[in-house]
């Protein structure tokens, strides 16, 4: 029609439009300089990392990894809380290659306070130095350690949840599959936030989200190359890409968060649908007009606060 203009590549939520307009283009291959990526993430998160958080106490320790390695973990407990509490294994995101912070992440601290839980924040091995299955096996070893030392940690081993965003959502879903198949520790709840679940480029959102200012389909393909290796083939195991699992029965109840401008949206929604078909209780939350991990770029926005409050409430309800 005369006078019509080409619509923008993405339509951000009104609360996020100004923030998106100020974002510079991301590198075509964000993993080409992995140390720069790791440093840049720490700089992004620095304003959200207070020197001291009076809401929680933090204890640092190490535990044996699956390959003779040592894993650094941080154990968070609500300040002043006594007795036995539910437990949360928090698995950070960052494309399996970055995302570690010097202190417990804001998400780990929020989960600790909101759920009234003991949260274990693990520093699993990162790609590309340590590709699959190093990271997920580190996380599984941490889950086993939580269950084995539950009395010492003050954790109710019948109320242990796993949660994480992006790659952390992948690892959380993978741990549920592993614990079921290996008859390992009982997981009471899986809280999958903007999860990266499928190494196959087969969804509409992966193709549609191409804006270079935000994580897009091309960037997700680079993520999988980094995690699995550039020679990855068609036989990726389900513990690496949970969307490939053919049987989702017997898995823990789930919460799945997706965002409308996230290339991972469709695979998250599809995984939620398949969990439902397997008679797994699922709550789904989609945030229209928001991009992958938008909360870090607009932490003071009402949308970020409402989104965070929603998944924290789901975690709290599931564990209490």
160-192 in b/e burial notation, b at 16+ Cβ within 10 A? bbbbbbbbbbbbbbbbbbbbbeeeebebbbbbb
- Rounded distance, CA 134 to CA 146, Å? 19
Characterize the bridge pairing of strands 70-78 and 118-123: antiparallel
Which segments of the chain does DSSP mark as H helices, in order? Answer: 17-21, 34-45, 106-115, 134-148, 150-153, 167-181, 204-208, 217-228, 265-277, 302-319
312 contact partners, CB below 8 Å, separation of at least 6: 110, 111, 114, 115
CB burial readout 200-216, b (16+ within 10 A) else e: eeebebbebbebebbbb
Catalytic residues: 166, 262, 292
Distance CA 21, CA 273 (A): 34
Of 141, 149, 132, give the one whose Cα is nearest residue 87. 149
Report how far residue 244's alpha carbon sits from residue 270's, in angstroms, rounded to the nearest whole number: 11
């Amino acid at each position: 029609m005369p006078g019509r203009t080409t619509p923008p590549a993405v339509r951000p939520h009104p609360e996020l439009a100004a923030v998106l307009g100020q974002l510079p283009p991301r590198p075509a291959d964000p993993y080409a300089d992995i140390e720069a990526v790791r440093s840049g993430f720490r700089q992004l998160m620095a304003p959200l990392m207070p020197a001291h958080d009076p809401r929680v106490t933090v204890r640092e320790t190490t535990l044996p990894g699956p390959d003779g390695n040592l894993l650094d973990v941080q154990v968070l407990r609500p300040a002043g809380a006594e007795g036995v509490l539910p437990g949360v294994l928090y698995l950070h995101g960052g494309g399996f290659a970055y995302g570690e912070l010097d202190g417990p992440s804001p998400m780990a601290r929020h989960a600790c306070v909101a759920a009234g839980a003991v949260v274990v924040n693990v520093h699993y091995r990162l790609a590309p130095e340590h590709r699959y299955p190093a990271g997920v096996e580190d996380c599984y070893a941490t889950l086993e350690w939580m269950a084995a030392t539950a009395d010492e940690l003050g954790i109710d081993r019948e109320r242990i949840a796993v949660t994480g965003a992006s790659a952390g959502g992948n690892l959380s879903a993978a741990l549920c599959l592993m614990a079921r198949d290996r008859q390992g520790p009982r997981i009471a709840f899986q809280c999958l936030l903007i999860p990266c679940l499928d190494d196959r480029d087969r969804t509409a959102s992966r193709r549609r989200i191409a804006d270079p200012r935000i994580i897009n389909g091309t960037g997700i393909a680079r993520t999988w190359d980094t995690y699995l290796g550039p020679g990855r083939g068609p036989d990726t195991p389900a513990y690496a890409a949970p969307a490939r699992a053919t049987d989702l029965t017997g898995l823990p109840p789930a919460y799945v968060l997706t965002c409308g401008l996230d290339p991972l949206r469709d695979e998250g929604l599809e995984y939620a649908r398949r969990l439902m078909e397997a008679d797994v209780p699922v709550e789904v939350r989609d945030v229209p007009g928001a991009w992958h991990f938008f909360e870090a770029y607009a932490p003071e926005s009402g949308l970020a606060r409402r989104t965070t409050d929603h998944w924290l409430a789901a975690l709290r309800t599931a564990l209490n």
